[in-house]
Amino acid sequence: EAAAIYCMENELPNYNLLSIGRTFIIIDCGGSTIDITTHKIVGNNPLQLSEVTELIRDFCGSTFIDDEFIKLLNEKFETRAIDLLKKNHYIKFRYIVFEFCQRVKKSFAGDDNTKF
């Protein structure tokens, strides 16, 4: 709800979208969950909104992508090697995951041919 209010007050006016009856969707992509709600503007003075759909939540946030990347590392380099890397050089292991996030995950746009 806080994100919806923020959008009503700060974003919708920038695009001339602040009008009674206007419906908009808030998608909050977090670390472990993604939350989706649909809201409708029902009043202008003061700004009022109603919830059109109940909150939809699923456990498919960005940390699950990190987990799949680590599974890929285990497949490519064998679990024992990755376990030893984590045990003996944990900071370097986290750096590998960090670099994956910076170079691949953040720029991914749905192209199945993305190379690591």
Kindly report, residue by residue over 9-67, the tens digit of the pLDDT: 888 889 888 888 989 898 888 888 889 999 998 987 887 888 898 889 998 888 888 99
Asked if 33 and 1 sit in the same domain, the reply is yes
Report the percentage of the chain scoring pLDDT > 70: 93
* Residue 113: pLDDT over 80: no
* Domain span including residue 13: 1-58
Return d(Cα 18, Cα 47) in angstroms, integer. 9
Asked if 28 and 6 sit in the same domain, the reply is yes
Asked if 46 and 72 sit in the same domain, the reply is no
- The verdict on residue 114 lying in a domain is no
- Count of all residues that appear for the chain in the document: 116
Max intra-chain CA distance, the chain: 63
Average pLDDT over residues 76-97: 94
Selected residue with higher pLDDT from 3 and 115: 3
User: How large is the angle between the packed helices 79-88 and 62-77, nearest 10 degrees?
Assistant: 110
Per-residue pLDDT reduced to its tens digit, 32-48: 888 999 999 898 788 78
How many structural domains are present in the chain? 2
Q: What is the pLDDT of residue 43?
A: 87
Return d(Cα 79, Cα 75) in angstroms, integer. 7
- The verdict on residue 109 lying in a domain is no
Q: What letter does residue 105 receive in the DSSP assignment?
A: I
- The verdict on residue 88 lying in a domain is yes
Instruction: Note whether 25 and 36 are within 8 A (CB).
Output: yes
